Structure 1
């Protein structure tokens, strides 16, 4: 969404963020960027071989492998109760999402009670009640200074 709106400036905006939170998603570009940001882990691999026969031999091979901490497909199917936080000066970390039902003001949301839902249509269509004796100031919009 950021790149769609701000195009080339999106990278500048992202670069100036002190914190980022990934709540989940499946957009390929986001998954690629996040996987790269998380980096790789080093895996020590030991392989052994044992050859039997007329001239038996035994060998051990040690190698270090790099593996993405979380691949794109792992990020795409990440547990819905988890998120990844990136804070300035701290390595990215996996965390539990905050349970909104535990917030002290949860009872004021429409998820708790439908009567709390804001009705934009009702708000926009409300009519001002005018009483006898009310005073008004008439302003000519054309005479206002332009911005």
Structure 2
């Protein structure tokens, strides 16, 4: 439901079967021309030419699964999906602020939780509500 309501889909790579299948279907098919020639030799030589238009997946599931790690597939609502190069984050002007550039920029969750003020002070009265969620009969497992 969530993915179906997204205007933009960016596939950076992966190997999960249902994702690969869905992406291959979204990419669609291309038309290819197939020419076959034949030659029969016997008492007489005969030649044949067969011409067909065929539909082929633009990218099969296995082609998507082994896609170059520097590539991605982007689909924006209203446009055909396209293959693109991934952005090199080291070229971004703010790259220096990432933990990839300098470990001192790494966010320490435990340190943050110790430093931040309590939302409710221990002496402050507050109301607590307990919610019971009844399982949906459609999703209930036996």
- The alignment's TM-score, normalised by the length of structure 1, stands at 0.78
Between the two proteins, the alignment pairs up a number of residues equal to 127
Relative to its length, the structure with more helix (as a share) is 1
RMSD value over aligned CA atoms? 2.2
> 2-side partners of 1:24 and 1:83: how far apart?
7
* Per-residue CA distance 1:44-100 (angstroms, 9 max, x = gap): 011111112213211110111111111101100111110000011110000011111
Gaps of 5+ in 1: 1-9, 129-135
Which contiguous aligned blocks of 4+ residues in structure 1 show a shift greater than 6 angstroms?
none
Gaps of 5+ in 2: 131-142
Aligned-pair distance for 1:127?
Answer: 7.7
Mapping of 1:3-42 within 5 angstroms? 10=1, 13-42=2-31
- The alignment's TM-score, normalised by the length of structure 2, stands at 0.81
Aligned-pair distance for 1:141?
Answer: 0.7
Aligned-pair distance for 1:145?
Answer: 9.7
